[in-house]
Amino acid sequence: MKIENNRIDELNHLELKAHRRKFDFVAEDIAALEDVMTKLAAFNVAIPSWALGTGGTRFGRFSGTGEPRSLEEKIEDVGIIHALNKSSNSISLHIPWDIPGDAANIKALASEHGLHFDAVNSNTFQDQKDQNLSYKFGSLHHVDKAVRKQAVEHNIEVIKYGDELGSKALSVWLADGSNFPGQLNFRHAFENTLESLREIYDALPADWKVWVEYKPYEPNFYSTTIGDWGQAYLLSTALGPKAQTLVDLGHHLQGANIEQIVSLLLMKDNLAGFHFNDSKYSDDDLTVGSINPYQLFLIFNELVEGMDSKGMDHATSIGWMIDASHNIKDPIEDLIQSVQAIKIAYSQALLVDKQALLTAQLNNDVVHAQEILQHAYRTDVRPLIAEASFRIGGALDPLKAYRSLGVRENLIRERGSRSVARGL
């Protein structure tokens, strides 16, 4: 199914008067209003192909209804999100969960929906049924060179798929680690990983990047070979300029100051991009902004400040992507909420008076510095986001539009209530 523009126009028309009132109220106090609107309109967040079906836990998976049954239907779902919010113009594939059979056709279908392909993700954290050697004891870090070679070859194959689709980055997340003290020689594991990543790096097309993702634990519970940003930084800088560190918000120990990590990675030109999600405990993969929206704002505050200091384009200089999948919400609704939450944090960060903040910092005026940040954070920027979306043909309220248009009901009619998406 495809959402026609005139359906969105009709719904917007009903909301327009109330929207104008709210927009004018907040807009009046924003000096650089048009700059904020332009930046918001240019901002897009990639949707992962694995988030379109209902996720699960190790205890069970409760399938939703009308789930996409194929890559084509996943593209259709992202097309729906993008038609509504005009901020989700790309899709990120996980191989082999979503192998593009006929790349030319898949690419053409995506572009019919106004979409392109973001980073491709390799998967050496599961054994596939036709695979010779097992990843039970890891992949790129494995003690056996033959297993490492198999994992390297898989990554090179993923690059080929991505190249055919027009992707420009390979995202590597490894489950490699150990469950018990003594199981691994940390140094050997790290050196093996570096050696394997070098082979993958050498296979990157000239205009590609490799994004190295870290995570402290799970599925291994004693050590993870790329466990934190220090380890990802060591690897990526040893590899070369095409390698950078990917920050997944759920991949930190409790209390970690993610905004500080982000600030320093950006300073060192080593920030590849983000996997957005939210969490209360760790890698919970909950809806972005559902638990700790202030942290998200503080991260964006560092991003905006750091990118501006280097003259980087906010929308295109790093990768913005959602990485979430859980088991109770309608995945499309969850993704719409997530993108809205990201845009809220981004626009609040754009509102921070950077000059005044710097002056407060130089004067050690702690109270005023906090006031400046919280003034921006406490501004209700939702009318700005609605206006930015409206100006480029999106819905004033994408979630409401999704429900009013009965999109899920239509998808159930087309796909059936028992359809199950492949993935996690």
- Which residues are bridge partners to 276 per DSSP? 322
Q: Which of 184, 187, 252, 183 is nearest to 217 (CA)?
A: 252
Nearer to ligand PSV, 248 or 302 (CB): 248
- Selected binder of ligand PSV within 215, 252, 314, 408 (CB under 6 A): 215
* 47 burial type by CB count under 10 A (0-12 exposed, 13-18 middle, 19+ buried): buried
Contact (Cβ atoms closer than 8 angstroms) between residue 194 and residue 235: yes
We find the least distance from the C-beta atom of residue 321 to Mn ion, in angstroms, to be 8
Nearer to Mn ion, 64 or 319 (CB): 319
Contact (Cβ atoms closer than 8 angstroms) between residue 201 and residue 182: no
- Selected binder of ligand PSV within 213, 278, 334, 397 (CB under 6 A): 213
Q: d(Cα 280, Cα 316) in Å, to the nearest integer?
A: 29
We find the least distance from the C-beta atom of residue 48 to ligand PSV, in angstroms, to be 7
- Selected binder of ligand PSV within 176, 283, 302, 387 (CB under 6 A): 283
We find the least distance from the C-beta atom of residue 333 to ligand PSV, in angstroms, to be 20
Q: Name the residue type at position 92.
A: S
Q: Name the residue type at position 63.
A: S
Q: What is the x/- site pattern for ligand PSV, positions 167-206, by CB under 6 A?
A: ------x---------------------------------
Q: Which two tokens stand for residue 414?
A: 């087309």
278 lies in the site for ligand PSV, by CB under 6 A: no
Q: What is the x/- site pattern for ligand PSV, positions 365-384, by CB under 6 A?
A: --------------------
We find the least distance from the C-beta atom of residue 48 to Mn ion, in angstroms, to be 8
We find the least distance from the C-beta atom of residue 91 to ligand PSV, in angstroms, to be 14
214 lies in the site for ligand PSV, by CB under 6 A: no
Q: Compute how many residues bind ligand PSV; rule: CB under 6 A.
A: 10
Nearer to ligand PSV, 98 or 397 (CB): 98
Question: CA 218, 55, 2: angle at the middle one, nearest 5?
Answer: 140
98 lies in the site for ligand PSV, by CB under 6 A: no
Nearer to ligand PSV, 142 or 215 (CB): 215
Q: d(Cα 178, Cα 128) in Å, to the nearest integer?
A: 21
- CB-nearest residue to ligand PSV: 173
248 lies in the site for ligand PSV, by CB under 6 A: yes
Nearer to ligand PSV, 107 or 275 (CB): 275
Nearer to Mn ion, 5 or 57 (CB): 57
Q: Which two tokens stand for residue 58?
A: 């190790």
Q: Which two tokens stand for residue 250?
A: 């759920």
We find the least distance from the C-beta atom of residue 294 to Mn ion, in angstroms, to be 21
314 lies in the site for ligand PSV, by CB under 6 A: no
121 lies in the site for ligand PSV, by CB under 6 A: yes
Nearer to Mn ion, 228 or 353 (CB): 228
Query: What does the DSSP assignment read for 209-248?
Result: EEEEE--SSSS-SSEETT-SHHHHHHHHHHH-TTEEEEEE
121 binds, among ligand PSV, Mn ion, none (CB under 5 to 8 A by kind): ligand PSV
Q: CA of 371: how far to CAs of 189, 359, 367, 378, in Å?
A: 47, 13, 6, 10
Site for ligand PSV in 37-96 (CB under 6 A): 50
Question: CA 49, 135, 91: angle at the middle one, nearest 5?
Answer: 10
Query: What does the DSSP assignment read for 316-351?
Result: TSSEEEE----SSS-HHHHHHHHHHHHHHHHHHHHH
Contact (Cβ atoms closer than 8 angstroms) between residue 37 and residue 391: yes
Chain residues binding Mn ion by CB under 5 A are 248, 250, 275, 283, 323
Rg (the chain; Cα; Å): 22
We find the least distance from the C-beta atom of residue 173 to ligand PSV, in angstroms, to be 4
Q: Which of 349, 312, 384, 411 is nearest to 87 (CA)?
A: 384
Start-to-end CA distance of the chain, whole Å, equals 24
- Contact residues toward ligand PSV (CB under 6 A) are 50, 121, 173, 213, 215, 248, 275, 283, 323, 424
